């Protein structure tokens, strides 16, 4: 039942948490349902009660389940929690949760940049960009839509990358241009067109993110517009003084 391929890298309690998370998100448990007790988890996975407890605590910390004193743990908010403190991509975040991220390319163009893209990416009208529109899925369910724009001069072979399976961020690492930082703006919006494109009800609100990411030498390398479902995601951030 556990992902033995990863064993030795991912602590057992994280793997157990991944399994339970998956069952919650795939609907095996509904909101308010009781999840297995720590004793049951211990027996099912052949682990100590303490390890079982750690797995449940992991899910409690992200708000997916909550404990009721003396009664056990129950399914709470069924939203995936992503962090806003680190610059990570959809692909990596979803994989780390033990879920399966995929993408469907809606369009892929090589074209001239818009005025806004010139400003954000610090390029000229004569430069060209790759523009990719992708629907993002988690275990086959549409979770969002992304419009990615990258300058051709920085990633000339970008059209050879399999963007249904690989991420821009891992590709940038491969070609020795790792991301250093990003600036992101967030909105909460309704968007009929996006809802239609990814085939979900128009009554679901979206997070809209506008991200510009930079290389270590401060060169802007991507302008990313993302719509992610408000009913599927929540985001955390640490605030300092």
Minimum Å distance from CB 142 to its own copies? 16
Closest CA to 134 of 100, 163, 154: 163
Q: What does the alpha-carbon distance between residue 136 and residue 103 come to, in Å, rounded to a whole number?
A: 5
Minimum Å distance from CB 77 to its own copies? 8
Q: What does the alpha-carbon distance between residue 236 and residue 78 come to, in Å, rounded to a whole number?
A: 15
Identity of the residue, 47 or 172, whose beta carbon is nearer to its own copies in the bound complex: 172
DSSP label at residue 5: G
**Residue 44 Cα distances to 27, 84, 161, angstroms:** 20, 34, 41
Identity of the residue, 128 or 191, whose beta carbon is nearer to its own copies in the bound complex: 191
Backbone phi, psi, residue 193, to 5°:
-65, -45
Minimum Å distance from CB 43 to its own copies? 28
Identity of the residue, 108 or 235, whose beta carbon is nearer to its own copies in the bound complex: 235
Identity of the residue, 11 or 63, whose beta carbon is nearer to its own copies in the bound complex: 63
Identity of the residue, 19 or 120, whose beta carbon is nearer to its own copies in the bound complex: 120
Minimum Å distance from CB 231 to its own copies? 8
Could you list the residues that contact its own copies (CB under 8 A)? 63, 66, 68-69, 79, 81, 84-87, 115-116, 178-190, 203, 205-207, 211, 230, 234-241
Give me the residue label for tokens 């404990």.
67
Closest CA to 109 of 130, 134, 133: 130
Minimum Å distance from CB 79 to its own copies? 7
The answer to whether residues 80 and 137 touch, using CB atoms and an 8 Å cutoff, is no
DSSP-derived 3-state class of residue 135: strand
């Amino acid at each position: 039942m556990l992902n033995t391929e990863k064993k030795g890298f991912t602590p057992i309690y994280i793997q157990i948490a991944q399994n339970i998370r998956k069952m919650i998100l795939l609907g095996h448990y509904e909101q308010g349902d009781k999840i297995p007790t720590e004793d049951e988890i211990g027996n099912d996975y052949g682990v100590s009660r303490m390890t079982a407890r750690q797995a449940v605590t992991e899910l409690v910390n992200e708000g997916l389940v909550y404990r009721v004193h003396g009664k056990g743990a129950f399914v709470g908010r069924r939203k995936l929690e992503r962090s806003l403190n680190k610059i990570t991509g959809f692909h990596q975040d979803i994989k780390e949760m033990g879920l399966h991220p995929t993408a469907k390319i809606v369009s892929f163009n090589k074209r001239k940049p818009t005025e806004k893209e010139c400003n954000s990416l610090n390029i000229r009208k004569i430069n060209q960009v790759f523009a990719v529109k992708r629907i993002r899925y988690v275990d086959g369910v549409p979770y969002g839509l992304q419009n990615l724009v990258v300058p051709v001069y920085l990633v000339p072979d970008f059209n050879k990358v399999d963007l249904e399976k690989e991420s821009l961020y891992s590709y940038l690492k491969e070609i020795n241009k790792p991301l250093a930082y990003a600036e992101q703006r967030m909105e909460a919006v309704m968007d009929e067109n996006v809802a239609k494109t990814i085939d979900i009800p128009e009554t679901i609100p979206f997070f809209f993110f506008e991200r510009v990411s930079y290389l270590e030498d401060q060169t802007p390398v991507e302008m990313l517009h993302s719509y992610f479902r408000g009913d599927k995601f929540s985001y955390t951030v640490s605030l300092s003084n």
